[in-house]
Amino acid sequence: MKSIGVKQFLHVRTADHPVYHPEGNQLTFITNYSGLPQVWDLTMSKGWPTQASFTDERVIFVKYIPGTNRRIVGMDVGVNEKQQLFILEENGELMPLTNSPEHIHHFGGVSPDGKYLAWSSNRRHPAFFDIYVQNLETYESERVFKGDGLFKPVKWHPEGNSLLIEKINTNLDNDLGLLNIASGAVTWLTYHEGEAIFDSPQFNFDGDELYVLTNMERL
């Protein structure tokens, strides 16, 4: 029986986190073709992708800013999981956004008009994650929700004036709520008893309905 050495496994490559360019003519994804996870672009009319980022650390995710060629990427240092957010310019240069390497930052999406970025961070307290909105023109950020718990922005409402947020209670239980950015008030949407997970939420086109996957009442 022929044996297989470990060398072949060390050369296994992966590709994940695919996103379409806003115009739909290009697929962007993260792969370790070059040895370190980086952003690559695949033009739909061509057969081989080109590398778009050249960083000294792994790229964790990539998302387009609506209506532009600019992208938001996340990176940490030495796999320390203290993710920072950056703008990846068309020429491959990085513009720091969060720039607080001692804290963790969770990406929460870009507003429909492409002007604002949402994220959560434990800047106030190591155990608590508050929610921030950052202006992508001035780069100024504002805390829009403060809570003693693990809160994350999930996505923007289609109208752009509120955020769907998540409160993680345990690894088997969470809640979803709609945060009014102007007032800071939250309307919690997933009242339940016992443990339940509400996953993969999606607004309908008008934003007046929310679809989720859940195991509520199935345990």
pLDDT in the model for residue 55:
94
Share of the chain above pLDDT 90, in %: 85
pLDDT in the model for residue 6:
56
**Residue 7's pLDDT band (cuts 50, 70, 90):** low
**Residue 45's pLDDT band (cuts 50, 70, 90):** confident
**Residues 110, 158: contact at Cβ < 8 Å?**
no
Determine the Cα–Cα distance for residues 47 and 169; give it in Å rounded to an integer: 45
pLDDT in the model for residue 3:
61
For residue 85, how far is the Cα from the chain centroid? 9
10 has pLDDT over 90: no
**Residue 4's pLDDT band (cuts 50, 70, 90):** low
Count of CB atoms within 10 A of residue 7's CB?
A: 7
pLDDT in the model for residue 71:
97
Indicate the range of 30-34, 136-140, 146-150 predicted with least confidence. 30-34
39 has pLDDT over 70: yes
Share of the chain above pLDDT 70, in %: 94
Q: Which of 65, 83, 79 is nearest to 28 (CA)?
A: 65
DSSP 52-106: ----SS-EEEEEEPTTSS-EEEEE-STT----EEEEE-TTS-EEESS--TTS-EE
pTM over 0.75: yes
**Residue 13's pLDDT band (cuts 50, 70, 90):** confident
12 has pLDDT over 70: no
9 has pLDDT over 60: no
pLDDT in tens, 203-214: 999 999 999 999
CA torsion through residues 204, 205, 206, 207, sign: positive
